[in-house]
Amino acid sequence: MPGLAGNDLAAQILKVRPDIPIFLCTGYSEKMTEESAAEVGFQGFFLKPVSMADLSKALKKAIDSYHSIGKAGQLDNTAEGKAKQRTVRVLIVEDDKPLLMVFKNFFRNIYHADVEFVLDGEQALETLQTKPDTFELLITDQNLPGISGLDVAASAIKINPDLSVLLWSGYCDEALQEKAKQAGIQMCMEKPVGYKELVATFDKALKSLFHSDQTHHN
């Protein structure tokens, strides 16, 4: 298409709406394959001409998957479902306000989480020091004004050793992942975070919190 390539457009859209299914249609592409399209976040990849049967099948699959993912956070009787039955208290540290709003709405609307957010590390530590036992999950960007996400996490865990921490960064290489592990961070996610990845990561964090609840009660 003129101006902006389809994969670049998709990347921009997913920053604003990480929940929206996107399909890529192209007549010919040397660089884009089904696998690379999936890495960008496309739900489907088609080479033109596309038959109506193939398109209908793919759309139905995407819609079914979308509704299935949209049920994340609803009640069921599995261990994962029980983990989602109570309100999780989350503190998000992110200086990108549009991105912050996307994730805040995601956690509130999908998981009905009790979400509080701050724009930098100093505010995060001040909030945690004021309310040390309020939050169960801390999600922080690595590149923040002033204190880095790693430093925020290390200080936060000292304040509340039971706090689960997720780190996201525009570049989450092996060195950062190792530093995150040493700081006590459970997971390191690379931006842009796809909707399915975000759901899977948060589900994993909820399972960890649920098992922690069981351990404390036993």
Q: Could you read off the pLDDT of 93-108 as tens digits, one per residue?
A: 998 877 777 777 777 7
Residues 113 and 57 in one domain: no
Burial of 14 (0-12, 13-18, 19+ CB in 10 A): buried
Residues 85 and 60 in one domain: no
Residues 152 and 169 in one domain: yes
Residues 110 and 90 in one domain: yes
Which carries the bigger pLDDT value, residue 91 or residue 206?
91
Mean pLDDT of 170-180: 88
Residues 110 and 65 in one domain: no
Its domain, for residue 107, covers 79-217
Residues 54 and 97 in one domain: no
pLDDT for 48 equals 73
Domain assignment of residue 95, yes or no: yes
pLDDT for 128 equals 95
Which carries the bigger pLDDT value, residue 197 or residue 165?
165
Give me the CATH number covering residue 175. 3.40.50.2300
Task: Tell the residue number behind the tokens 């979308």, with chain if given.
Answer: 66
Please give the tally of structural domains in the chain: 2
Domain assignment of residue 1, yes or no: no
pLDDT for 140 equals 94
Which among 70, 88, 111 is the end of a domain?
Answer: 70
Q: Could you read off the pLDDT of 119-151 as tens digits, one per residue?
A: 999 999 999 999 999 999 999 999 999 899 999
Residues 198 and 152 in one domain: yes
pTM value is 0.61
Residues 148 and 120 in one domain: yes
Please state, rounded to an integer, the average pLDDT across all residues of the chain.
76
Residues 86 and 190 in one domain: yes
Residues 11 and 109 in one domain: no
Assign 155 to helix, strand or coil: helix
Name the DSSP letter for residue 84. Answer: T
Domain assignment of residue 120, yes or no: yes
Signed CA dihedral, 128, 129, 131, 133: sign only = positive
Domain assignment of residue 18, yes or no: yes
Residues 93 and 168 in one domain: yes
Contact 188, 206 (CB under 8 A): no
Mean pLDDT of 178-201: 82
Angle of CA points 84, 91, 213, to nearest 5°:
40
Which among 52, 70, 88 is the end of a domain?
Answer: 70
Q: How far apart are CA 214 and CA 167, in angstroms?
A: 25
Residues 162 and 210 in one domain: yes
pLDDT for 198 equals 77
For 116, 133, 152, 174, 186, the CA distances from 158, given in Å and listed in that order, are 20, 12, 10, 24, 15
Mean pLDDT of 31-39: 68
